[in-house]
A and B are shown apart, each in its own frame.
Chain A
Amino acid sequence: MSSNEDRKEVPRRDFLNVAVGGSAAALAVAGGYPIVRYLEPPPGRAAGAVRVGKVESFPVGTVHTVMVGERPVLVVRTADEIRAFSALCTHLQCVVAYSPESKQIECPCHGGVYSLDGRNVAGPPPRPLQELAVTIDEDFVLVSSAG
């Protein structure tokens, strides 16, 4: 038996179906990939350390909300130190605030409660508030956006 007789013939229609379908799929991938990449936002630029005010604008025993880049941050001044925490709840990122009545940090969305050192003490938040590095430079308070 010759090798030509063993060869199975592919019908013209099947060949065209595969060729057209394959080309369409290749075009869809070639067109779709740049679109998906275009829609993906580029990585943001870190704001670095941001001046949030003079040391005397944060009296002892107060908590202020300031902006570091696009992010709200709590600046907590105690007798010993100045600390900064992201003001975003670790549960679902609602903005939290200091409650003078309870002397705690509270989230109004789902009832999360944090102590003034950022620990999650009640409600659904799974983690403490993210702490951000604080430095003092020529009487100004600088808060790092990177933690």
Chain B
Amino acid sequence: MSVAGWLADRVGWKGIEASLAAHRASRRGFMFHVGGITLFLLVVQVVSGILLAIYYRPDADHAHASVERIVGEIPYGNLVRGVHVWAADLFVVSLLIHLFTVVVRRSFRAPHELTWVSGIALLLVGLGQAFTGAVLPWSEKAYTDARVGSEFARYVPLVGDWLHRFMRGGEDVDSETLAHAFGFHVAVLPAAMTLLLGTHLFLVSRRPVTPLPQAATAPTIPLYPDFLVRLGVALTGTMVLILSLAIFWERPVGPSADPRTPPSGGLPPWYLLPAHAILRAAPKELLGIDGPTFLFGAACVFGLILLALPFIDRRGSRLTVWLAWIALLALILLSFRALP
């Protein structure tokens, strides 16, 4: 018996193969691979993040210098950081595409309510990872992101003040904020994400994707090897994209944080551009409530509606699909509006 045959025998590969082949997946569409790509991007971030953590120093006096050292002195450090930063950006893109696809395909309908809720929770944890990760280089931009991002939290109804202090690790943005962000970025949020992801994948496996009415008769293919081989091609393409971006599109660390210096007018991360455009244009008061309080209250109501979507729109109406398209268009237009 060959080594491969022996190994296959010991892990019971034939049974696994038969079980995978018995599952059917949709034959058509790249969109069915977005969930898998999102998971892959998470794995890339974990691996590159572990490598970065070896040289990174999470205190305000050394953090920026340690990131500059990774980029400037450590062999392939620039590539590892580039892969981490780009994979993080693409992860958010992929999460949003996945979310949008689920809404447009009305895949949130029963019996997928819990899958949807766990997905929205994953999106929130993903955004938490993006925020805490942006703080870690302790550059001028990171300092501003920490200040503005934690100030956002103050406007969350009921728990705002608590959340604000919690995100800062105290009253102000200082070394404690950085230590807090590091702890959450490398331990707390990844643990939460692992738990939620496990739940999400378990629910997906228990309740296969709801087909569209017109797709009920669409041809399907075995999950293994057909679907997984196609997914493998998509993942290889994703990795080539990440490496290309990391090599050819450098993401500078920027100057070190100085609390006395105002930010140089740079923009927030791309996924906050719509919020940036609204915050710039919003008046001081709306309906007798101060501007930021009104806007964040509205954002929280929108978040709750999004979370409860499968319970509000049980049948997956066309109105929801139209609203999703309008929301996408509005977000793109607002993003362009935020650009200088």
The residues of A with any CB-CB pair to B shorter than 8 Å are 39-44, 65-67, 69-72, 87-88, 91-97, 107-111, 120, 124-127
CB pair A126–B262 under 8 Å, yes or no, is no
Contact at B166–A44, with CB atoms within 8 Å? no
Are B263 and A109 in touch, CB under 8 angstroms?
Answer: yes
Task: Among B174, B176, B262, B282, point to the contact of A124 (Cβ < 8 A).
Answer: B282
B10 contacts A by Cβ under 8 Å: no
Given contacts A44-B171, A91-B292, contact A126 B276 (CB under 8 A): no
Residue of A nearest to B282 (CB): A124
A92 pairs with B262, CB closer than 8 A: no
Contact between B259 and A70, CB atoms less than 8 A apart:
yes
B148 interface residue (CB < 8 Å to A)? yes
A residues less than 8 Å from B276 (CB atoms): 110
Contacts of B180 in A (CB 8 A): 41
Name the residue among A40, A91, A108, A127 with the largest chain B CB count within 10 angstroms: A91
B165 at the interface (CB under 8 A from A): yes
Which residue of A is nearest B261, CB measured? A95
Residue in A closest to B165 when the chains form the complex, CB atoms: A41
B100 at the interface (CB under 8 A from A): no
Interface pairs A-B: 7 shortest CB-CB = A126-B290, A44-B171, A97-B262, A93-B151, A70-B174, A70-B172, A108-B265
Q: How far is the CB of B69 from chain A (nearest CB, A)?
A: 25
The contact string, 1 if C-beta is below 8 Å from chain A, for chain B 165-193, is 11011111110100010000000000000
Contacts of A92 in B (CB 8 A): 147-148, 151-152, 279, 292
Give chain A residues whose Cβ lies under 8 Å from the Cβ of B265.
Answer: 108-109
A127 to B292, CA, bound (A): 11
Quick one: closest B residue to A91, CB to CB?
B292
Least CB distance from B6 to A in Å reads 43
Chain A residue at smallest Cβ distance from B183: A39
Instruction: Check if A67 sits within 8 Å of B162, measured CB to CB.
Output: no
A130 to B264, CA, bound (A): 23
Whether, in the assembled complex, B283 has its beta carbon less than 8 Å from a beta carbon of chain A, the answer is yes
Q: How many residues of B contact A (CB 8 A)?
A: 35
The answer, yes or no, to whether B280 is at the interface (CB within 8 Å) is yes
CB distance from B236 to the nearest CB of A (A): 40
Say whether B264 contacts A108, CB under 8 Å.
Answer: yes
Please name the residue on chain B nearest to A46 by beta carbon: B171
A53 to chain B minimum Cβ distance, whole angstroms, is 13
B260 at the interface (CB under 8 A from A): yes
Chain A residue with Cβ nearest B147: A93
- B176: nearest residue on chain A (CB-CB)? A41
Judge whether B285 is part of the interface by a CB distance below 8 angstroms. yes
Given A92-B279, A93-B148, A124-B279, are A108 and B263 also a contact pair (CB < 8 Å)? yes
Measured between beta carbons, the chain A residues less than 8 angstroms from B285 are: 126
Taking A92-B148, A124-B292 as known contacts, 12 extra A-B pairs with beta carbons closer than 8 A to each other, sorted by chain A number, are A40-B162, A41-B165, A41-B168, A44-B172, A66-B260, A67-B260, A70-B172, A70-B173, A91-B291, A92-B151, A108-B263, A124-B283
- Enumerate B270-301 residues with CB–CB distance to A below 8 Å: 276, 279-280, 282-285, 290-292
**Contact partners of A108 in chain B: CB under 8 A:** 262-265
Complex contacts, A124 vs chain B, CB 8 Å: 279-280, 282-284, 291-292
CA–CA, A116 to B171, complex, Å? 26
Q: Which residue of A lies closest to B173 (CB)?
A: A70
B144 within 8 A of A: yes
B174 touches A94 (CB 8 A): no
With A and B bound together, what is the CA distance between A87 and B263 in angstroms? 12
* Residues of A with C-beta under 8 A to B152: 92
Instruction: Check A69–B148 contact: CB distance below 8 A.
Output: no
A126 with B292: CB separation less than 8 A: yes
Separation in Å of the B148 CB from the closest CB of chain A?
5
Residues of B within 8 A of A71 (CB): 172, 259
